[in-house]
């Protein structure tokens, strides 16, 4: 039985790129090195090896935007085609994209692999650009359905997401994405690839930003629910990092952890609230954040 693996050490990565070159570039007389591009360090890579440790299939996925992932460089060795390995790689990359919280996956397929991508659920959108190998490409798309993610008040969720991106542009670069809002809990996710440090784990400053935004977002949504308006600012914060984040960063803020109410704001005064945000690496708790937020009434802002 074949198993998907992640090329992690130098030997694996060399074998992975060499294989990619052999299948996708060497037939077009392109030199070694031409198989790589500027996304390698932020992309997720997957491969399959045979029983002797030889690479027999590879593929990669990276984020184009927080909503869109791109699958690229799928290759299966000539003598192993037609056994389902190509599909195994695409589905493994699709799973990675799902966890990143994207809505769709695109790929620029050569004419010869359009049927293969169709079998994986992609549809042809338009004629894409010619690439290094000078083959004409078809842009293909697959929309992902997120099972289980609840979005109560989708309009407010969209407004919050838009507010983050428009007022704090770095949130888009960090791949910050509102994943789920149930009315009681808000879950926000970030891309690990875009927030990685030199140890291959999530940068502590990014964890802090993810937590800050989640607490901020929870107050934003609670104010919407109560029909209140005002400017939310972080006054003070404390964070404890217990373990490194190694995959799928999530921040969860539960309404039960919110202390304080909105009575001052209702009377047109500055309002203080404290919220706790738990940072998880998949389902493992890795950090805890406590933020003190102030809500400034609109009248204060006009003065
Ligand atoms: C395209 C490629 C990755 C497919 O890998 P694979 O392991 O042979 O594909 P699978 O066995 O998983 O095939 C899945 C389905 O796609 C179909 N398929 C695969 N290649 C096909 C082709 N060239 N033409 C028509 N159908 C094809 C299979 O018949 C199968 O359908 P089924 O589920 O109904 O049986 C492989 O042929 C390859 O490496 N080609 C060269 C590089 C390339 O073109 N990469 C794509 C990047 S643009």
Strand, helix or coil at 54?
A: coil
pLDDT at 284: 86
CA 86 to centroid of ligand 1, rounded, Å? 6
Sequence ranges of the chain with CATH classification 3.40.630.30 = 4-143
Q: How far is the CA of 146 from the centre of ligand 1 (A)?
A: 26
Q: Does the beta carbon of 22 sit less than 6 angstroms from any atom of ligand 1?
A: no
Where are any strands of DSSP class E within the chain? 4-5, 44-49, 55-65, 68-76, 104-110, 123-127, 137-143, 177-181, 185-189, 231-241, 249-254, 271-281, 284-296
Sign of the torsion formed by the C-alpha atoms of 39, 22, 47 and 143: positive
Start and end residues for every CATH 3.10.129.10 domain found in the chain: 154-302
SS3 percent helix, strand, coil of the chain, rounded to 5, is 35, 35, 35
Distance CA 210, CA 284 (A): 16
The answer, yes or no, to whether any atom of ligand 1 lies below 6 A from the CB of 136, is no
Residue located nearest, by CA, to atom 4 of ligand 1: 86
d(CA 222, CA 262): 9
What spacing in Å lies between the alpha carbon of 117 and ligand 1's midpoint?
7
Query: Could you tell me if the CB of 74 is within 6 A of ligand 1?
Result: yes
Other C-beta atoms closer than 10 Å to the C-beta of 300 total 13
Exposed/middle/buried for 82, CB within 10 Å: 0-12, 13-18, 19+? exposed
Number of neighbours of residue 256 by Cβ within 10 angstroms: 9
Across the beta sheet with 4-5, the strand order is 4-5, 44-49, 55-65, 68-76, 104-110, 137-143, 123-127
CA of 24 to the centre of ligand 1 (A): 14
* Chosen CATH of 4-143 out of 1.10.357.10, 3.40.30.10, 3.40.50.150, 3.40.630.30: 3.40.630.30
75 to 72, 85, 139, 160, 262: CA distances (angstroms): 9, 9, 18, 40, 57
Q: What is the DSSP letter of 243?
A: S
Three-state DSSP class for residue 189: strand
In the prediction, which pLDDT does 194 show? 84
Identify the pLDDT of residue 90.
97
Q: Is the distance from the beta carbon of residue 109 to the nearest atom of ligand 1 less than 6 Å?
A: yes
Which pLDDT belongs to residue 135?
73
Atom of ligand 1 nearest to the CA of 81: 8
154-302 is a CATH 3.10.129.10 domain: yes
Note the pLDDT of residue 146: 67
Helix, strand, or coil here: 7? coil
**H/E stretch holding 114:** helix 114-119
**Contact by Cβ (8 Å): 53, 163:** no
Mean pLDDT, contiguous 10-residue spans, the chain (303 residues): 93 97 96 96 95 97 89 98 96 90 90 94 82 79 79 90 92 90 93 87 95 97 95 97 90 95 95 97 90 89 51
Among protein residues, the one with the nearest Cα to ligand 1's atom 27 is 116
């Amino acid at each position: 039985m074949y198993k998907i693996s992640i090329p992690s050490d130098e030997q694996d990565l060399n074998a992975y790129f060499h294989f990619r070159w052999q299948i996708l570039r060497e037939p077009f007389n392109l030199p070694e090195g031409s198989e790589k591009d500027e996304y390698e360090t932020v992309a997720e890579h997957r491969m399959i090896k045979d029983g002797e440790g030889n690479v027999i299939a590879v593929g990669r996925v990276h984020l184009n935007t927080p909503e869109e992932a791109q699958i690229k460089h799928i290759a299966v060795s000539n003598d192993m085609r037609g056994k389902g390995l190509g599909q195994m790689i695409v589905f493994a990359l699709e799973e990675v994209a799902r966890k990143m919280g994207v809505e769709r996956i695109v790929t620029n397929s050569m004419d010869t692999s359009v049927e293969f991508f169709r079998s994986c659920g992609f549809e042809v959108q338009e004629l894409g650009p010619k690439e290094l190998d000078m083959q004409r490409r078809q842009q293909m798309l697959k929309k992902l359905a997120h099972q289980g993610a609840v979005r109560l008040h989708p309009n407010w969720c969209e407004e919050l997401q838009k507010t983050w991106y428009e007022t704090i542009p770095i949130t888009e670069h960090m791949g910050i994405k509102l994943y789920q809002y149930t009315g009681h809990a808000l879950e926000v996710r970030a891309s690990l690839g875009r927030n990685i440090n030199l140890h291959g784990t999530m940068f502590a400053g990014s964890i802090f930003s993810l937590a800050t935004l989640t607490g901020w977002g929870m107050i934003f949504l609670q104010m919407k629910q109560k029909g209140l308006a005002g400017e939310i600012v972080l006054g003070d914060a404390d964070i404890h990092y217990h373990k490194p984040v190694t995959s799928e960063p999530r921040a969860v803020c539960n309404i039960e952890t919110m202390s304080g109410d909105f009575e001052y704001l209702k009377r047109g005064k500055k309002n203080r609230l404290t919220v706790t945000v738990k940072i998880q690496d998949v389902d493992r708790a890795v950090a805890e954040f406590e933020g003190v937020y102030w809500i400034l009434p609109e009248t204060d802002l006009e003065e």
